Structures are given as structure tokens and as C-alpha cells.
Amino acid sequence: MQVLDAGQTVRHSQYGVGTVTESDVERTTVEFDDHGMKKFVTSIWSAEVVGEIAGRPARPKRRRRSTKATKAAAAKAGKN
């Protein structure tokens, strides 16, 4: 088995589907949906790569305060 990229989806015969969290020539760590985090010896473990790296999930944008709320907060701060 080769070194995999973090984020790839794999299917293991015993643990099912999981996502690679880190992988190097010695160890591969996978977060399985039903069995949690498991570490494997990279050179001897076997799993089927079933998905490529998912795109980074978009973070929701911060909502801006309305102009009225900003002006009201500034006015209130000026009174104190």
C-alpha cells in the first residue's frame, strides 16, 4: 500500500469506510465512521481507496452588523 493523502476516503475489510487523517511511510491513521481512529503499519495494511480528497468545506461568512446597529452601538459607547 502506498502513502495516502490526508482526506482520502478508504474502505477497510474489517472497519468499513473511513477518512485518512495522516499517512507516511511507517504509519497510516484513519478515522472510521463506526470504529473511530485506527493506526496501521503502512507497508502491510490493505484498504481500497474509494474517494479522493474532498474539497475544503466552506466556512460560513461572518454576518456584518447592520449600519443602524453599528451607529447605535457607537452612540451608546459615546454616552458612557
Gap between the Cα atoms of 69 and 50, Å rounded:
49
Instruction: Confirm whether 75 is domain-assigned.
Output: no
pTM beyond 0.75: the answer is no
The number of distinct structural domains making up the chain is: 1
Instruction: Confirm whether 73 is domain-assigned.
Output: no
Instruction: Confirm whether 19 is domain-assigned.
Output: yes
Cβ neighbours for 30, distance < 8 A, ≥ 6 positions apart: 10, 12, 15, 18, 19, 20, 21, 37, 38, 40, 47
pLDDT, tens digit, for every residue of 36-70?
999 999 999 888 998 776 555 555 656 665 667 66
Cβ neighbours for 15, distance < 8 A, ≥ 6 positions apart: 30, 32, 34, 35, 38
Domain residues for 48? 1-53
Instruction: Confirm whether 58 is domain-assigned.
Output: no
Instruction: Confirm whether 71 is domain-assigned.
Output: no
Instruction: Confirm whether 70 is domain-assigned.
Output: no
Kindly give the pairing relationship between strand 16-23 and strand 48-51: unpaired
